[in-house]
């Protein structure tokens, strides 16, 4: 069947159909979060199990998120060819394949095969994100887009809170702390045997995850989620975009994609590095595993604030400006604030709690950038969303910068990499999103 014949315009959806669609997309965002944020504990886990440097360990994030750069534009053409629902089914199946690749990787304790599995999972997520983000952006009033995206963010980050805790509960054991401390004194044969046993614990969980994702892909294809029409423009947009022949003729989109690149980089650094930062303060892995959840909890608090105040009390642009300024301030405090405090049962330097608070600063940035960047794209919406998804490779690249400086300097000074990111985000929030014509 021709895909265009079954696609419908957003304004033709009933309220019930819109709510069902939002619920299904919310479920997908929960799964995105569960699969993505488990990287925060996979990084220190693989660093121990595969005997890696900090830079090598952050290749977990690189392999996972560089798939967004590789696949985002092909994903837009896939969705245009087969439709949103079938495209999302293929995305879930790619994720399932990536999970199954963990089995031979664990059997041989080969880090490169693990990275291939993570890259394949990222390929699937790139397809799903390319479909889901424009879906939720246009399913309703434009001025409430940040509110809807915040709701999706709660689903995503709630899963992120659970995933490292669930992973640790399934994979790690109370006796592991003693084993980690004894690795240096073991013989090569003893250490190899201990690490082989440690890494093979991922086999059953990832077989289960892969099976679940494969079945879910089929169920999404059979779900009542409607196809939506992003190929046809209103008369106003058709006139405004009449002379546009390239996606690069939309400065607010290109600058927005760079903003997404830097934003997701700051977000993944705040979450994926905090266990290592806690380790530098003498906090072991079994205790430090909860710190990513603290950061994500702060993010959820920010989402709840956004849902409450946007657009009733403040605009989504104002919320974006506030969050980017907070990110700049918290970054300075991470580097400059010192002194041990006892909080939530942890004895740690106060600076780690400003890393946690980056979750609050980052909460409404994604929700603020997306509707601004996709504004008035019309028939360029799918390709524009793909360009935005390409920006997610910031998750891949920014942690490597952090890892390099963590090895060269120390894990605290490496947080300086966040400062230029937040300064650019302030620029986009204040001026960059308004640009509709390139000028130098």
Tell me the pLDDT tens digit for each residue of 258-269. Answer: 999 999 999 989
Give the angle subtended at the CA of 41 by the CAs of 116 and 400, to the nearest 5°.
60
- Contact present, 321 and 382 (Cβ < 8 Å): no
Residue 9 has pLDDT above 60, yes or no: no
Q: What percent of the chain has pLDDT over 90?
A: 28
Joined together, the tokens standing for residue 307 give 């849902």
Q: What is the CA radius of gyration of the chain?
A: 22
Query: Minimal CA–CA distance to 35: which of 117, 136, 110, 103?
Result: 117
pLDDT for res 426: 96
Architecture in CATH of 13-227+247-434: Up-down Bundle (1.20)
> Average pLDDT in the 415-435 region?
93
Residue 2 has pLDDT above 50, yes or no: no
pLDDT for res 266: 94
pLDDT for res 293: 85
C-alpha span between 259 and 88 (Å, rounded): 26
pLDDT for res 75: 83
C-alpha span between 53 and 403 (Å, rounded): 9
Query: Minimal CA–CA distance to 37: which of 60, 69, 68?
Result: 60
Mean pLDDT lowest for which of 28-42, 198-212, 232-246, 363-377?
232-246
Q: What mean pLDDT value characterizes the chain?
A: 83
**Residue 170, SS3 per DSSP:** helix
> Average pLDDT in the 396-402 region?
88
> Average pLDDT in the 274-293 region?
86
C-alpha span between 394 and 196 (Å, rounded): 32
C-alpha span between 225 and 211 (Å, rounded): 22
> Average pLDDT in the 386-407 region?
85
Residue 1 has pLDDT above 50, yes or no: no
pLDDT for res 14: 66
Query: Minimal CA–CA distance to 299: which of 278, 330, 323, 317?
Result: 323
pLDDT for res 391: 84
Query: Comparing 410 with 228, which gets the higher pLDDT?
Result: 410
> Average pLDDT in the 116-134 region?
87
C-alpha span between 279 and 273 (Å, rounded): 10
Query: Comparing 306 with 121, which gets the higher pLDDT?
Result: 121
Joined together, the tokens standing for residue 303 give 């989402």
Q: Looking up tokens 């944020």, which residue turns up?
A: 37
pLDDT for res 243: 64
Q: Where are the domains of the chain?
A: 13-227+247-434
C-alpha span between 40 and 268 (Å, rounded): 8
Residue 311: pLDDT band (50, 70, 90) is confident
């Amino acid at each position: 069947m021709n895909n265009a014949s079954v696609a419908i315009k957003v304004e033709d959806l009933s309220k019930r159909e819109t709510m069902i669609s939002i619920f299904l997309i919310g479920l997908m965002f929960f799964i995105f979060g569960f699969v993505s944020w488990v990287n925060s504990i996979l990084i220190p886990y693989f660093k121990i199990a595969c005997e890696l440097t900090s830079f090598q360990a952050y290749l977990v994030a690189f392999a996972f998120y560089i798939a967004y750069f590789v696949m985002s534009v092909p994903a837009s053409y896939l969705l245009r060819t087969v439709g949103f629902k079938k495209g999302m089914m293929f995305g879930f199946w790619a994720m399932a394949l990536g999970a199954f690749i963990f089995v031979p990787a664990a059997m041989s304790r080969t880090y490169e095969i693990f990275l291939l599995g993570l890259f394949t999972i990222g390929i699937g997520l790139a397809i799903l994100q390319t479909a889901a983000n424009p879906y939720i952006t246009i399913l309703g009033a434009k001025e409430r887009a940040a509110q809807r995206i915040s709701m999706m963010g709660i689903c995503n980050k709630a899963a992120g809170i659970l995933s490292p805790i669930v992973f640790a509960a399934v994979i790690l054991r109370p006796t592991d702390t003693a084993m980690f401390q004894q690795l240096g004194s073991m013989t090569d044969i003893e250490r190899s045997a201990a690490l082989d046993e440690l890494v093979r614990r991922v086999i059953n969980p990832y077989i289960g995850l892969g099976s679940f994702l494969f079945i879910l892909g089929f169920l999404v294809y059979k779900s009542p989620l409607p196809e939506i029409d992003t190929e046809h423009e209103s008369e106003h947009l058709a006139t405004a975009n009449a002379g546009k022949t390239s996606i690069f003729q939309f400065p607010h989109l290109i600058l927005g994609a760079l903003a997404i690149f830097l934003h997701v980089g700051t977000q993944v650094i705040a979450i994926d590095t905090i266990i290592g930062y806690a380790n530098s303060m003498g906090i072991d892995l079994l205790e430090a595993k909860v710190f990513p959840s603290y950061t994500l909890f702060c993010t959820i608090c920010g989402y709840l604030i956004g849902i409450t105040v946007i657009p009733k009390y403040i605009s989504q642009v104002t919320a974006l400006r506030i969050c980017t300024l907070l990110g700049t301030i918290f970054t300075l405090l991470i580097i400059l604030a010192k002194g041990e405090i006892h909080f939530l049962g942890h004895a740690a330097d106060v600076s780690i709690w400003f890393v946690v608070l980056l979750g609050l600063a980052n909460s409404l940035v994604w929700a603020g950038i997306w509707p601004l960047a996709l504004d008035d794209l019309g028939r360029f919406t799918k390709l524009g969303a793909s360009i935005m998804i390409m920006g997610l490779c910031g998750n891949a690249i920014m942690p490597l910068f952090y890892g390099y400086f963590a090895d060269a300097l120390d894990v605290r000074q490496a947080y300086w990499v966040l400062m230029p990111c937040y300064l650019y985000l302030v620029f986009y929030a204040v001026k960059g999103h308004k640009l509709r014509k390139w000028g130098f």
